[in-house]
Amino acid sequence: MIMNRVFFLILFVSLLVVPLSINNVNSDGVSYFELITEIGADLIKNSKTTKEVEIIISEEQKIQIRKNLNSLNDSQNNFINEFENVQIETLKDVNAFIARERWKTFSEANNGIKGIYLSGYHLLQEEKINPIKEIVKNTVVNTIVLDVKTDNGHLMYDSKIDAVEQLGNERIKYDSITLKNLKKELDIYLIGRVVAFQDPIFSTKYSESAIIDIKTNSPYSQDGQYFLDPSDEKSKEYVLNVALEACLLGFDEIQFDYIRYPDTSYKGLVYDEESNFENRTNNINSFLQDATKTLHDIGCLASADIFGYVLNAKNDNGIGQYLETIKESVDFISPMVYPSHYSKGSFGFSYPNNHPYEVVTASLNQGLSRGVDKKQLRPFLQGFWHSSKDVALNIKAAEDKGLGWIIWNNSSVYQKDFFTKIES
């Protein structure tokens, strides 16, 4: 091989320096450093002449150099892969940070989250949405909870999930542009409600994922509600994918409703796993933890709706909702502390619905006494079967505890005088 000495000196230095940065790559017991040094010695010896010289590199040396160059390539590829992984993890951390800061900044600027529920079916109905817009523009209400996946199993947007084509469950009411414009017009914090383990369409289509009634050997129906088995991987994957799509559409937070087992004493139910406290709470909380982490990664926070009595219950009451575990699984919990839902005698009242302030206060005290942070506790309050004064008393009870709140009315009907007006 005929080459001039300058080229060989450059080659020598290059081959010598690079391996030092990767701890002297070694192959077949021959140090790369030793091999190049041996070749370099010949180069230096012959470089003393100004004439072209012939340097002989043996076939064995050529093979060894090729092997070590391949090792260098592998090291380079590994470095690139590790760098890309670090970039991905950093991006996830940034997304989670932005989501938390967005909520924190909004909450501090508006003295907390003050929301109302809007049924996805009603978004495009002017007689429903226009009064809500007026309320948001003229009162302290600053948040809307909007259906993503409804109690009926319908999706309110155009989904790309494979199963949706088979389910035929789209009832499209909005897209990312619709949500962007809504947020811009009203300057709101937007929460997407995803009904999790209650789905009549999915349960019927994929009965192997449903809780089965042993009497009928078909999906269990509780007053028309059909429950998915929270231990079923297909069910969990579907619900999570819906939540992820919703986040990417532009919601600030995803709220999981019906994140539980059916509330029934009926013994004829068949699950994939034995229904006991450990399995139930593990299935509910492992799903919520995975969902929360994944949503954080793409820039959304996560919350869970729970029954009001969970704030006081010493066990999970058969539904998988246990306060000490569920509060550790999401960013926020929304107990449904509706006075009308408490039984006679609760908190010492024969008719709890007639005592909204006292009942809501007592219930929230139970949660706070068990270590739930005020920033995490954001109750659903009763916006039905109540006068305007009663709704206002629900709100006062929450605000007197320093908490944010959301008003629930399944019909999406609210009165301005439910809420404190913005001072001009």
Q: Decide if pLDDT at 28 tops 60.
A: no
User: pTM of the full predicted structure?
Assistant: 0.81
Q: How many CB atoms lie within 10 A of CB 234?
A: 14
Residues 138 and 76 in one domain: no
CATH code of the domain containing 227: 3.20.20.80
> 346 has which bridge partners?
none
CA pair distance 128, 80, nearest whole angstrom: 54
**pLDDT band at residue 1 using 50, 70 and 90 as cut-offs:** very low
**Residue 88 resides in a domain:** no
What's the confidence (pLDDT) of residue 4? 45
Q: Which of 64, 83, 102 is the last residue of a domain?
A: 83
Residues 77 and 224 in one domain: no
Residues 155 and 222 in one domain: yes
DSSP secondary-structure letter at 309? G
- The residue segments making up the domain with residue 279 are 110-418
**Residue 192 resides in a domain:** yes
- Number of domains observed in the structure of the chain: 2
Q: Decide if pLDDT at 44 tops 80.
A: no
User: Which contiguous run of DSSP H or E holds residue 7?
Assistant: helix 5-20
Q: What is the pLDDT of residues 173-214, one digit of tens each?
A: 999 999 999 999 999 999 999 999 999 999 999 999 999 999
Reported in sequence order, the residue ranges of 124-202 that DSSP labels E, i.e. its strands, are: 143-149, 189-195
User: Which contiguous run of DSSP H or E holds residue 215?
Assistant: none
Of 121 and 73, more confident: 121
* Residue 265 exposed, middle or buried by CB count within 10 Å (0-12, 13-18, 19+): exposed
Give the strand pairing for 301-307 and 143-149. Answer: unpaired
Residue 223, Ramachandran bin (φ over 0: left; ψ between -120 and 50: alpha; else beta) = left
**Residue 94 resides in a domain:** no
**pLDDT band at residue 21 using 50, 70 and 90 as cut-offs:** very low
Q: What is the pLDDT of residues 243-264, one digit of tens each?
A: 999 999 999 999 999 999 999 9
DSSP secondary-structure letter at 111? T
Residues 117 and 52 in one domain: no
Residues 66 and 128 in one domain: no
Residues 62 and 114 in one domain: no
Q: What is the pLDDT of residues 331-388, one digit of tens each?
A: 999 999 999 999 999 999 999 999 999 999 999 999 999 999 999 999 999 999 999 9
The residue among 313, 312, 389 whose CA lies nearest residue 357 is 389
**pLDDT band at residue 5 using 50, 70 and 90 as cut-offs:** very low
What's the confidence (pLDDT) of residue 86? 62
**Residue 10 resides in a domain:** yes
What's the confidence (pLDDT) of residue 57? 67
What does the chain come to in residues?
424
Average pLDDT rounded to a whole number, residues 134-160 = 98
Q: Decide if pLDDT at 18 tops 50.
A: no
**Residue 188 resides in a domain:** yes
What's the confidence (pLDDT) of residue 211? 98
Residues 117 and 66 in one domain: no
Q: Which of 83, 102, 135 is the last residue of a domain?
A: 83
**Residue 344 resides in a domain:** yes
**Residue 271 resides in a domain:** yes
Residues 59 and 207 in one domain: no
Give the rounded percent of residues in the chain with a pLDDT score beyond 70: 83
What's the confidence (pLDDT) of residue 59? 75
Residue with tokens 């064995």: 60
CA pair distance 196, 254, nearest whole angstrom: 11
The residue type at 166: Q
Give how far Cα 74 sits from Cα of 11, 60, 98, 326, 410, Å: 20, 21, 36, 45, 60
What's the confidence (pLDDT) of residue 74? 72
Phi, psi (degrees; rounded to nearest 5) at 387: -80, 170
Residues 78 and 114 in one domain: no
**pLDDT band at residue 84 using 50, 70 and 90 as cut-offs:** low
Q: Decide if pLDDT at 389 tops 90.
A: yes
Phi, psi (degrees; rounded to nearest 5) at 255: -110, 120
Residues 62 and 178 in one domain: no
Mean pLDDT computed over every residue of the chain: 88
Give the strand pairing for 212-213 and 218-219. Answer: antiparallel
Of 403 and 36, more confident: 403
Residues 73 and 132 in one domain: no
CA pair distance 375, 292, nearest whole angstrom: 17
CA pair distance 415, 231, nearest whole angstrom: 41
**Residue 98 resides in a domain:** no
Residues 240 and 146 in one domain: yes
DSSP secondary-structure letter at 116? E
